[in-house]
Amino acid sequence: MSSRKIRQRSGLDASPADSVVRSCHTPLHYAAATPQIAGPYVTQPAANCRRCPRLVLLRKQVRHDYPHYHAAPVHAFGPADAALLVIGMAPGLHGANASGQPFTPDDADGLLFPVLHAYGFASAPVTQSANDGLVLSDCRITNAVKCLPPDNKPVAAEINACNDFLASELARARVLLTLGGLAHKATIKALALRQADYPFGHAARFNLASGQQLIASYHCSRYNRNTRRLTPEMLANVFATARAMVDNPLPVTQSSAS
Ligand code: SF4
């Protein structure tokens, strides 16, 4: 069943977010939002995080329809001290929302894990489940929004509500790689930077005042792959740059947007 059908059955409103930063002040229900510490400097949401009422309702419906699915906030995957942090948008219904691990399963013609493997960030080019033994090396993968959104479209209030969890994940990485405009804007917001200074574009790259480096890519979604908006070669070029950034840290004095 698609997330659209689930949304319709649940009576959920799915007005899409066309901007991450339009409002930081949208009213939210913060009841029972009790973060748990998952590692030094990293705060991950509790399994019962209820900040986003629409997503909580959807989780409940998905748990009913797919009792074996994870259907809870999806935490980051990979070593907490990884130099590279890859930031996606949000869990997919039959992907991370099912497995509990970002971008898993990645099907046989997926784009992400082959390129992670090719550049030494993953032990295998395919992942089928969270327990298949694949190991990330010097790479961690997360999402800007930790819960499944209806129609793969979180609204601005949900992106903002989850932003402090993302912010807590950014500090330990030297290189940030954003997948898609939504993840990119959410990352810029989490870094408390001006969106206008760091516009999204495929292969756009920035040196941040923090000493971190950021590179953006079109999202490796099935849609972008099928329309060839993002080809394997385009994604490989971005990861080749990320690999070079990881292997050649900026001098500590270099600190301007480029
Ligand atoms: S999307 Fe983030 S803030 Fe919203 S309910 Fe899920 S974990 Fe909580």
**253 pLDDT band (50/70/90 cuts)?**
low
Task: State which of 74, 147, 165 you would mutate to test the pocket of ligand 1, scoring each by most atoms of that ligand within 8 A of its C-beta.
Answer: 147
Q: What is the overall mean pLDDT for the chain?
A: 84
Q: Residue 252 has what pLDDT?
A: 62
Question: Pocket of ligand 1, candidates 12, 43, 158: which has the most ligand atoms within 8 Å of its Cβ, to mutate?
Answer: 158
The pLDDT of residue 249: 83
The alpha helices in 87-231, defined as continuous H runs, are: 96-99, 112-118, 156-161, 163-170, 181-190, 222-226
Ligand 1 atom having least distance to the Cα of 161? 3
pTM for the complete prediction?
0.84
Average of per-residue pLDDT across 161-170: 95
Bigger pLDDT: 8 vs 99 = 99
Please give the structure tokens belonging to residue 70: 């994870």
Task: Confirm if 65 and 97 have CB atoms less than 8 A apart.
Answer: no
CA-CA distance, 115 to 110, in Å (whole number)? 10
Q: Which one has a higher pLDDT value, 126 or 31?
A: 126
Residues 159-166, mean pLDDT to the nearest whole number:
96
- Region 222-243: mean pLDDT is 95
Binding pocket residue ranges, ligand 1, CB within 6 Å: 45, 49, 51-52, 55-56, 73, 145-147, 158, 161-162
Q: Is pLDDT above 60 for 214?
A: yes
pLDDT at 71 over 80: yes
Multiple choice CATH, 3-9+30-247, 3.40.630.30, 2.40.10.10, 1.20.1740.10, 3.40.470.10: 3.40.470.10
Q: Check pLDDT > 60 for residue 19.
A: no
Is the pLDDT assigned to residue 22 strictly greater than 90?
no
